[in-house]
Structure 1
Amino acid sequence: MLDSQSSQHNGYDATVASLSAAAGRILADETAAFINRRPRSRAVFDDKSSGFFNQVPLYWMRDWPMPFPVVISTAKGSEVVDLDGNRAIDFCLGDTGAMFGHGPKPIVEALARTAQRGLTTMLPSEDAHAVGRLLSKTFGMSRWQVTATASDANRFAFRVARAVTSRNKILVFDGCYHGAADETLVDLNDGKTVGRENLLGQVVDLAQTTVCIPFNDLNALEAALATREIASVVAEPVMTNCGMILPQSGFHDALRKMTRASGTLLHLDETHTISTGLGGYTRTHGLDPDIFVVGKPVGGGVPVGVWGMTEAVASELDTIRSRKSGIGHSGIGTTLSGSTFQLACLRACLESVMTAAAYDRMNALADQIEAGFSAAIGEFGLPWHVSRVGARLEVVFTPSLVRDAAEARAAAIAVVQKALHISFLNLGYLLTPFHNMVLVAPTTSEHQAAGLVAGFEQVLQRLTVGAVAK
């Protein structure tokens, strides 16, 4: 256990330094264990003849805090098995793509049926009307469109917002996550909107398209909206990409009132916060956006995103389109969007997988994990807390809630995050590579949730004993 008197005497910086030193030792030991247990995964990664850049299908797979990517052999329910036979309970779940577990039976059956009827035709299938009604019933918007990803959905929604408002700029919150939409790939640096440091091939100055302000900062929001140049504010109801940042009391009410008063559309992206409950954070908390986006788990694991509009936005879009030729090239839509197999899986997910009962189970298990993590943090005297949105939670390295991205970044301790992640994996638990977010599926068992908590306790014991070792 961490010596609380010593920690108070030396200050928080000394605590961070000692924890970091201990984490470094743990990281070295766990990295060696990781490598020793995965010779076949390593051989795949070391084989430069694969043809893939960095030997992976998508290069950010290398961003996981592990020496080389684990090669997955099978994934079913809440368990993954790697090429070397190592089993892990999956609390990453494809970073939300498999939020309801790997290979839900209704999705697998829908894919099998659809395979016999054709996968894509660039025309609607017989599931289209049912899916549209299910989307409105589940999420509450009036008019819907289907895309390949939530990134596409956000891109298209930005075009619509600019078209219907005759304004040019999008407002985002510092540290935001909205996929690969160009307008959102910005940070706030000394009060200025700048492109993110690691962007590749960026040509357009993103300060010309985007205004970036801190989350929870209503004064900054009011000032930005007062320019009357903001077409839409895009927001995660709870920020999840730079650490989990909860909205302060009254923030969402003020956001809605201020956007409406300034003629700005409110665009909520629930690709991660869909973990809250049926219909996402928006339905659970009674929010009232003009545009709504969700991707990742909405098709039960297949590549699909959806975006919805209010009747007012859709009507204005119809009016604008009527002035055009009506023949393609709008910048909205891709050939494989709205495919037969996407619609079949959307229907199966919305009818049989994304259910109130599934969320009840997920949230009950998240209750169990939150309580266990919080108790362990208290037991070992760490100045940390657990932040949560429904079935998604993470440990934040501060004693109190963070308000914005600047505070979240200041709280991060990279070596501790890495040590926790690889330690969990060697214990048989796969967490999200970013901030070690934990996501609970309805296929997770109480025993698996208890095992995760026990693993956390075990790692904290090693971390804090090492932190006070001479």
Structure 2
Amino acid sequence: MSTLDRARLADLHARERAAFSDARPRSRALAEQAAAHMPGGVPMSWMVKWPGAFPVFVEHAEGAHFTCVDGIDHVDLCLGDTGAMMGHSPAPTVDAVTRQLSRGITTMLPTEDAIAVSRGLAERFGLPFWQFTLTATDANRHAIRYARHLTGRTKVVVHNWCYHGSVDEAFATLGPDGTTVDRRSNIGAPVDTAETTRVVEFNDLDALERALAHGDVAAILVEPALTNIGIVLPDPGYNEGVRELATRYGALLVNDETHTICAGPGGYTAAHGLEPDMLVIGKSIGGGIPCGTFGFSQEIADRIARSIELEDIDVGGIGGTLAGNGLSMAAMKATLEQVMTADAFEHMVPLADAWADGVQAGIDAVGADWHVTRLGARAEYNFSGRPSHDGQEAHDADDFELQQYLHLYALNRGILLTPFHNMALMSPATTAADVEAHTTMFGECLRELFATG
């Protein structure tokens, strides 16, 4: 088993940082200008975590590539962290959005596209009723509100080291004594998450039952496979066990498919025949146009209709004036019907397998104690010798310094990975040559990193 030389890593990292800055003078100049009115020179604070001394500014993105302002072409394996999973600016989506722009962007009234989109989502995910938002975060918030309203309960159960957008209840982890504590850097938390949330480990049905046995849990909010702390796959029968426990203890089960849509056209839910009470998705289904949605069963729809007065329906904390706008609906209709198809996944999934095979070959060649995990059109490597079984194991396997180096090495060779993970996502526009470029780069990187003598 190869051992990582930290001094060597530091030297190589310094070299790559210098090479990055030398190759991107235009991005560096723009970052300096941007710092005058944007903290860190970025439009959102988390962008400062990209590797390198400044962010790469994009000039043009199309398909599975983008060109930065310094004229460098990049293979994009990040794809907006799923927002552009179907490729940058897919032609059917662009055409539909362009037509809608001249017909009205937002009116607070429905368009005919909404009928087609809701029908298509029902067919994909098996839930008959849908409402629309601008983000999956909004959809998660609304699902939680409905769950609390319908059950009369206050608590939400989430998995340890989960991520569900900026939902307050999900910024919680397990403390050393097994209690719920605020996640590190939970900025401006409105209340202690222990008041709203119970955290359980992924793949631990006994812990979930203990959390539900209190009788105060309104919703179990889950990704059917963890993706934001590294890919953690469910044990056989785990999701079915979650469903059974939710039913037994009267909690609503909410599947967040925002990332696990990579498992197929109907996400992990359809691929594995899961039966949530509610389902949330965003990002990818609009081809890059902001959108989100949540679906629910007939029973949930009936309970909502019986319990909310018409007079109060606009002030209940559900929705927003831009929700369901014409532009988003046009984008979703085109993307779902013409881009996010079964044929697209038949192209994408084998490429993800090829990417994973290439990464595993690179790992094996140097004897690194790392592992690759696959999930449909997505795959990821982590710094442990076996798959993580839960969120804590995945968290403990991370190495921020090493991750930053590997991402910067790739970026300097024209390949973009998903930030804060070692994750790659395939699109319908991704090619075998794109995957092979990563395989070659990754093998060279590891041979240099683990070189002896």
* TM > 0.5: yes
Aligned equivalent of 2:332: 346
Aligned equivalent of 1:94: 80
Aligned-pair CA distance for 1:419: 1.2
Aligned equivalent of 2:224: 237
Aligned equivalent of 2:242: 255
TM-score for both structures, normalised by structure 2: 0.97
Q: Is contact 1:147–1:304 with CA below 8 Å preserved after alignment?
A: yes
Deviates more, 1:250-259 or 1:143-152: 250-259
Alignment of structure 1 residues 171-186 onto 2, 5 Å: 171-186=157-172
Aligned equivalent of 2:146: 160
Aligned equivalent of 1:328: 314
Alignment of structure 1 residues 177-196 onto 2, 5 Å: 177-190=163-176, 191-196=178-183
Aligned-pair CA distance for 1:137: 1.1
SS in 1 for 2:311: coil
SS in 1 for 2:122: helix
Q: How many residues align?
A: 452
Change in 2 beyond 3 A, CA 1:48/1:424: closer
SS in 2 for 1:47: helix
Alignment of structure 1 residues 59-458 onto 2, 5 Å: 59-190=45-176, 191-322=178-309, 325-458=311-444
Aligned-pair CA distance for 1:336: 0.6
CA distance in 2, matches of 1:438, 1:202: 32
Deviates more, 1:313-322 or 1:352-361: 313-322
CA distance in 1, matches of 2:359, 2:288: 28
Identity %: 44
CA distance in 1, matches of 2:407, 2:192: 36
What letter matches 1:308 in structure 2?
Answer: G
Aligned-pair CA distance for 1:436: 2.1
Change in 2 beyond 3 A, CA 1:49/1:398: closer
What letter matches 1:114 in structure 2?
Answer: Q
CA distance in 1, matches of 2:218, 2:154: 6
Aligned-pair CA distance for 1:49: 6.2
CA distance in 1, matches of 2:255, 2:417: 26
1:30-74 per-residue CA deviation (whole Å, 9 max, x = no partner) reads 111000001111111112564222221111111212211100010
CA distance in 2, matches of 1:49, 1:243: 32
CA distance in 2, matches of 1:232, 1:22: 48
Aligned-pair CA distance for 1:431: 0.4
CA distance in 1, matches of 2:230, 2:281: 20
CA distance in 2, matches of 1:383, 1:167: 45
Aligned equivalent of 1:464: 450
Aligned-pair CA distance for 1:349: 0.7
SS in 1 for 2:433: helix
SS in 1 for 2:143: helix
Q: Is contact 1:215–1:405 with CA below 8 Å preserved after alignment?
A: yes
SS in 2 for 1:108: helix
Q: Is contact 1:170–1:233 with CA below 8 Å preserved after alignment?
A: yes
SS in 2 for 1:325: helix
CA distance in 2, matches of 1:55, 1:381: 40
SS in 2 for 1:308: strand
1:125-147 per-residue CA deviation (whole Å, 9 max, x = no partner) reads 12121111111112221100010
> Could you say what the CA RMSD is over the residues aligned between the two structures, in angstroms?
1.2
CA distance in 1, matches of 2:393, 2:288: 33
1:192-214 per-residue CA deviation (whole Å, 9 max, x = no partner) reads 21122212222311111111111
What letter matches 2:240 in structure 1?
Answer: D
CA distance in 2, matches of 1:80, 1:20: 33
The reply to whether residue 51 of structure 1 matches residue 32 of structure 2 is: no
Q: Is contact 2:353–2:379 with CA below 8 Å preserved after alignment?
A: no
Q: Structure 2: where are the runs of 5+ without partners? A: none
What letter matches 1:224 in structure 2?
Answer: A
Aligned-pair CA distance for 1:340: 0.4
What letter matches 1:109 in structure 2?
Answer: D
SS in 1 for 2:308: helix
CA distance in 1, matches of 2:321, 2:45: 25
Aligned-pair CA distance for 1:99: 0.3
Aligned-pair CA distance for 1:19: 4.1
Alignment of structure 1 residues 9-28 onto 2, 5 Å: 15=3, 18-28=4-14
Aligned-pair CA distance for 1:351: 0.6
TM-score for both structures, normalised by structure 1: 0.94
Aligned-pair CA distance for 1:25: 2.1
Q: Is contact 1:19–1:416 with CA below 8 Å preserved after alignment?
A: no
CA distance in 2, matches of 1:251, 1:379: 34
CA distance in 2, matches of 1:368, 1:149: 31
CA distance in 2, matches of 1:126, 1:48: 41
CA distance in 2, matches of 1:48, 1:283: 44
SS in 1 for 2:218: strand
1:216-254 per-residue CA deviation (whole Å, 9 max, x = no partner) reads 111111101111111110111111111211111221111
Q: Is contact 2:223–2:257 with CA below 8 Å preserved after alignment?
A: yes
What letter matches 1:303 in structure 2?
Answer: P
CA distance in 2, matches of 1:203, 1:278: 37
SS in 1 for 2:359: helix
Deviates more, 1:59-68 or 1:96-105: 59-68
1:58-107 per-residue CA deviation (whole Å, 9 max, x = no partner) reads 11111212211100010011111111111110000011100011000001
SS in 2 for 1:233: strand
CA distance in 2, matches of 1:377, 1:35: 28
Aligned-pair CA distance for 1:168: 0.6
Q: Is contact 2:353–2:374 with CA below 8 Å preserved after alignment?
A: no
